[in-house]
Structure 1
Amino acid sequence: MPQFQQHASWRLEGGGQVIDLETAVKDGILGGGGLPSGKDGTLGAAAEKLDLKKTIEELDSAAEDVPSVFICPISLEPMVDPVTLCTGQTYERGNILKWLSLGHLTCPTTMQELWDDAVTPNRTLHQLISAWFSQRYLLVKKRSEDVQGRAAELVQSLKKVKGQARVEALKELQKMVVAHPSLGNALADSGGVALLSSLLGPFTSHAVGSEVIAILVNLSLDSDTKASLMQPARISLVVDMLNEGTIDTKINCTRYIEMLMAEKSFRCEFMLSLSLLVALLRLAKDKRHPNGIAAALSLLEAICSHEQVRSSLVSVGAVTQLVELLRNLSPEGSVPALHILDDLSTIPEGLSALKDCPQTIPNTVRLLMRASEAGVQYALSILWAVCKLAPDECASLAVEAGLPANLLLVIQSGCNPELKQRAAELLKLCSLNYTTTLFISKCKLTRTIQ
């Protein structure tokens, strides 16, 4: 039977041929750039020192331009131990042996019948794969070391420079942290995170503070670091920047506070600052910046989960402002706003503010059939609380706003049974002041309009 023979030359897809490993890589056929060589000039000297499988795993996200000839047709992953069948097709050893062990007598790629089930190591391709990945690994490692070195230089410079020079150094460091997420560990180990934290204080300029915050929100901080960042003077600086900074600074400040709130040691009295609540509501109403609206609502939602803060939110006019905001939010974007309003409805002053706001019922009814199931849950809860508080006044307004028809649709939808039950109860509440005939006509009328 014919057997696969290993040739000194290696044929590429498209008919091109390279004589050896050096020509293949040095000429850029497999990705360009020369390979590292040993003192004796042999290519791949570094490759021999690297474990190919480990190298490929570490380069999983960095080597996106892997040549197709290195990919196993079965697993679609780079090959570590390529072997060739009698048909000339090459596969990862483990994959093709598993294929054969299942009783298949054909080549997986060509479906040709195999006249010999032996597999032959493809040493030339293995060398090419090893050399290519070793080159990429060393390049990525060098870039990482260069980045870490430059970051260390910037951290050292922050101890000396002041004013605009410090701002420029922080800006460069921020760009590096965003581009290289793994840099955070190096900064923590070198004391860079501690230094950045120390730059936040009562006498920090907003220019410096905003850049420091922009860096910190992109790092994974430990509990001790977060605890130090909760000092009142530092929180006060962040609140000031949230009121007066650029839109990017405001968004970063919301992310920063939300990050600190996730810590068990976070003290909720920090959130009672009326200046903080007013700044967030102002950001939530800024139609020019949708990202700012989403960030503000996300933080307000987290803050409102603490009952101690709800009265303060109501006192700064959160109910009316959020109800008005519902008109301009997408169904997805409305969920946190509805959640906040639902939380505020649990305290007497919040529920009273919802009842007294003329847009509460129409704006909430409008979202009822557009929101997600979570949004529907919050909307029904708000409407139930308001109508229950003043059934004669609010139930009539809800009927005129088209609530019955929407409730019928909720009942007929595929949402969970609890929501259907709440919709049925609310529908019954709305019908109390109407005769059966009149209520049915209202349902049909509003349903036609909808």
Structure 2
Amino acid sequence: MTPLDGEAKSFLGSNSSLNCMVWFLKSGDLSVQANSVLVLKHVLSSDQKKMEEFSRIEVSLEALVKVIKEPVSPTTTKASLLIVYYMVSTSSSSRVDEKIITRFIDMGLIERLLEMLVDCDKSICEKALGVLDGLCLTTQGREKAYANALTMPVLVKKILRVSDLATEFSVSIVWKLSKNDKREDGGVIVEALRVGAFQKLLLLLQFGCNEKIKDKATELLKLLNLHREKLECIDSMDFKNLKRP
């Protein structure tokens, strides 16, 4: 049926078809899982109504996370991340849909994304950061990120090292975490400073970036500067001495 035209998407996006594809993701062999997630990417990415119908199917979100946690191939991982990204980015505009974000968080998606980001290609990195940015819109998502030792080293490492989009998502996540961290010891702001965030953000402003990220980077520099005299800034080149959870 590929390439998928409007009629094909209509058939494949029917409720019975979506239910079948969820079943294939949970129970099918690797090739069936791969085909199903690729079809879902095409059907759901351009239709918000279908996306909402899919999310209401029992174990649909669990099936997507399964493909991310137990990857069949880089192609299927990218497709799954893209579907999740559309879900969490649209959820940000609706309080009711925050339940979707909560379900993803409860399934350990934040921990899995951070592990993936340590070593992945550009495309997966951008999509994983996009999903993480959406998940950190919620208090629960930020708490999970605060608790993970990989969070700040990974995010700071990706600034200016992968792509403009990866840099934008990384700065956005660091900004969300820093802005909302109320711990008296400085929390993630101190962590970010220790792994070289101050230098990275200075470079970002010198190289130039869009206004949206420029404002966030400037605000972050002000927060970091409050603790800068107390700490030695280092470059975040590796993870050898990092305690992983």
State the TM-score bracket (shorter-chain normalisation): 0.7 to 0.9
Report the counterpart of residue 235 of structure 1 in structure 2. Answer: 18
Q: Verify the 8 A CA contact 2:196 2:236 in the aligned structure 1.
A: no
In 2, the alpha carbon distance for the partners of 1:360 and 1:237 equals 36
Structure 1 residue runs of 5 or longer lacking an equivalent are 1-215
Give yes or no for the alignment of 1:353 onto 2:137.
no
Q: Secondary structure at the match of 1:333?
A: helix
Cα drift, residue 337 of structure 1: 0.8
Distance of aligned partners of 1:318 and 1:395 in 2 relative to their CA distance in 1, 3 Å threshold: same
Report the counterpart of residue 177 of structure 1 in structure 2. Answer: none
Amino acid at match of 1:237: C
Distance of aligned partners of 1:418 and 1:325 in 2 relative to their CA distance in 1, 3 Å threshold: same
Q: Secondary structure at the match of 2:123?
A: coil
In 2, the alpha carbon distance for the partners of 1:378 and 1:266 equals 26
In 1, the alpha carbon distance for the partners of 2:214 and 2:128 equals 22
Q: Which has the higher helix share?
A: 2
In 1, the alpha carbon distance for the partners of 2:212 and 2:14 equals 44
Q: Verify the 8 A CA contact 2:133 2:169 in the aligned structure 1.
A: yes
TM-score using structure 2 length:
0.81
Matches within 5 A, 1:21-420: 216=1, 218-223=2-7, 226-261=9-44, 262-263=46-47, 265-266=49-50, 268-273=52-57, 275-286=59-70, 289-307=73-91, 308=97, 309-390=100-181, 392-420=186-214
Distance of aligned partners of 1:237 and 1:374 in 2 relative to their CA distance in 1, 3 Å threshold: same
Residue deviations 1:402-439 (CA, integer Å, cap 9, x gap): 2112112212213334423322221221121343xx55
Moved beyond 6 Å, runs of 4+: none
Structure 2 residue runs of 5 or longer lacking an equivalent are 92-96, 239-245
Residue deviations 1:113-141 (CA, integer Å, cap 9, x gap): xxxxxxxxxxxxxxxxxxxxxxxxxxxxx
Cα drift, residue 346 of structure 1: 1.4
Amino acid at match of 1:344: L
**Percent identity of equivalent pairs:** 23
Q: Secondary structure at the match of 1:305?
A: helix
In 1, the alpha carbon distance for the partners of 2:174 and 2:197 equals 9
Q: Which has the higher contact order (CA 8 A, sep 6+)?
A: 2
Residue deviations 1:36-60 (CA, integer Å, cap 9, x gap): xxxxxxxxxxxxxxxxxxxxxxxxx
Distance of aligned partners of 1:267 and 1:290 in 2 relative to their CA distance in 1, 3 Å threshold: closer
Amino acid at match of 2:224: C
RMSD of Structure 2 on Structure 1 (CA): 2.5
Residue deviations 1:68-112 (CA, integer Å, cap 9, x gap): xxxxxxxxxxxxxxxxxxxxxxxxxxxxxxxxxxxxxxxxxxxxx
Q: Secondary structure at the match of 2:32?
A: helix
In 2, the alpha carbon distance for the partners of 1:231 and 1:395 equals 47
Q: Verify the 8 A CA contact 2:172 2:213 in the aligned structure 1.
A: no
Residue deviations 1:222-271 (CA, integer Å, cap 9, x gap): 35x54444443332211111123233322221122222222364250421
TM-score using structure 1 length:
0.46
